[in-house]
Amino acid sequence: MEKEITIIGAGLVGSLLSIYLSKRGYKVSIYERRGDMRTNVVSAGRSINLALSDRGIRALEEVGIMDEIRRIAIPMHGREIHNPDGTSAYQPYGKEGQFINSVSRADLNCKLMDLAEQHGVTIFFHQKAEAIDWKQNEIHFVNPENESTLFVKSDVILGSDGSFSAARLTHQLQSDRFQYEQFYIDYGYKELHIPGGASSAFQLKENALHIWPRGQYMMIALPNTDGSFTCTLFFPFEGDPSFESLSDETKLREFFEINFSDAMNRMPTLVDDFFSNPTGSLVTVKCFPWIRENKFALIGDAAHAIVPFFGQGMNCGFEDCAVLNQMLDEYSDDWEKALPAYQELRKPDADAIAELALNNFVEMRDKVADPQFLLQKKIEGYFSSKHPDKWTPAYGMVTFSPEIRYSEALQRGKQQQAIMDEIMQMPSLESAWDSETVEKNMLEKISQQNSHV
Ligand SMILES: Cc1cc2nc3c(=O)[nH]c(=O)nc-3n(C[C@H](O)[C@H](O)[C@H](O)COP(=O)(O)OP(=O)(O)OC[C@H]3O[C@@H](n4cnc5c(N)ncnc54)[C@H](O)[C@@H]3O)c2cc1C
């Protein structure tokens, strides 16, 4: 008999997962807490966007839907760094032809739900999972609109209900030795807006991710297809400056004039946006186990929420779907074997990207404007182009090399950083960064490291 699968949460990961599973021949239903966002445009047309990169793209290609997604994506080939004095500088992300993509979260989610339905998936809206009865394999849903209840039995239950997952909580409360760790950073985020100019012209460079690094805080901006940019200010909750200290319009304007003047000139709704938009918090969640026998697994943010500074949360969740599918291939759809294999492969990678993401905050808000850091990146880029088999910069491993696991990228990144820490001590490096001496020194250090492995 055809196995029935219930997915909790029709977000980015749940929707993609449903496509993978329905392509395998399962009868798949998704239950989503919210209404159908395709008919309820809540955000008054304002777009919130995400960076989609190679790991996510690989999964979307595998299920054959990347061509559709490409139509709503804007390539970003590098970072445009905005200095406090109003000047800016461009840093390409990787090698020629490597880029990440700005995609509207809502458009991507809507498109994934459309495609899921085209693949035979049924999506039920206004169904909030409250609890799971593991003996009966039955999920208890409540309709937040009218409080009506629904009980759904299923052969397999997959929890893709995001960082505050109800599926995870019910699993946790009824598991022996469940490990759980939740960690908030002292920074929050707020979305701000730069509208398109005349005839929807982009007011900043279109094909770039814009960063205003300011040491202890930063703002970024990603382009939207209508010519606008969504800006995100990552800022301390408390202290000076902070969300708390910018308590009125005068303080806000003064602060932006000093620190983000070039952006502020293009933000006619700054004051409204700042005081009306919510301040989001940034959480890392780690837990284990992710699975229950052959009948339940957590996936995406429900299994591993991370901070957004590597632009990898969704990409990682999409990769989870690809790995689960790969395990089902390997074990011929024997869920008893596929689920533990999925968990074993993904848990170290999820832990690794959580660490990489936290580290990247310091890099983005502080180091990208530091001349020593830029020199190091220049040396790494040059060396990597001469010895691609020996060196891939950490950013490239995470963003453009899906064949390298996150856990391997983390480990290799640390080894490379140890080498660079020594190289950066060499004299006259500014003029000798592309010299044979530096190259030889790096090759020697790599071979010393390899001989210790
Ligand atoms: C500011 C910010 C910027 C980010 N930028 C990037 C980026 O550039 N690139 C990137 O890859 N990632 C980024 N991320 C991370 C990305 O948003 C998440 O990793 C991604 O949304 C996870 O998808 P998901 O489907 O697991 O969870 P979600 O997108 O949270 O979806 C969960 C779904 O489950 C539903 N749900 C919740 N509870 C229940 C319940 N009890 N019952 C039924 N349904 C329920 C929700 O309504 C939702 O539809 C960013 C995150 C933040 C906060």
> pLDDT digit string (tens) for 302-319?
999 999 999 999 999 999
Separation in Å, CA 317 to CA 5, 18, 120, 218, 355: 18, 13, 22, 26, 16
Ligand 1: which atom is nearest the Cα of residue 50? Answer: 8
pTM above 0.95, yes or no: yes
Strand partners of residue 229: 194, 223
Regarding the beta carbon of 300 and ligand 1, being less than 6 Å apart is answered yes
Distance 57 CA to ligand 1 centre (A): 17
pLDDT in tens, 338-380: 999 999 999 999 999 999 999 999 888 888 888 999 999 999 9
Regarding the beta carbon of 223 and ligand 1, being less than 6 Å apart is answered no
Binned at pLDDT 50, 70 and 90, residue 237 comes out as: very high
Structure tokens at 442: 């790096």
Strands annotated E in 267-318: 280-288, 291-292, 296-298
pLDDT score for 263: 97
Ligand 1 mutation pick, 34, 301, 306, max ligand atoms within 8 A of CB: 301
Regarding the beta carbon of 234 and ligand 1, being less than 6 Å apart is answered no
Cβ-based burial of 366 (10 A; exposed 0-12, middle 13-18, buried ≥19): middle
pLDDT in tens, 390-426: 999 999 999 999 999 999 999 999 999 999 999 999 9
pLDDT at 116 over 60: yes
Cα dihedral 106, 64, 351, 132 sign: positive
Regarding the beta carbon of 318 and ligand 1, being less than 6 Å apart is answered no
Task: Give the architecture (CATH level 2) of 4-77+103-182+283-360.
Answer: 3-Layer(bba) Sandwich (3.50)
Regarding the beta carbon of 34 and ligand 1, being less than 6 Å apart is answered yes
pLDDT in tens, 264-303: 999 999 999 999 999 999 999 999 999 999 999 999 999 9
**393 upstream amide cis, omega within 30 of 0:** no
Instruction: Spell out the domain ranges in the chain.
Output: 4-77+103-182+283-360, 186-281, 370-452
Closest CA to 211 of 52, 90, 103: 90
pLDDT score for 253: 98
Ligand 1 mutation pick, 12, 220, 315, max ligand atoms within 8 A of CB: 12
Regarding the beta carbon of 364 and ligand 1, being less than 6 Å apart is answered no
Regarding the beta carbon of 161 and ligand 1, being less than 6 Å apart is answered yes
CA distance 207 to 73: 11
Ligand 1: which atom is nearest the Cα of residue 282? Answer: 53
Binned at pLDDT 50, 70 and 90, residue 453 comes out as: low
Phi, psi (rounded to 5 degrees) for 249: -60, -40
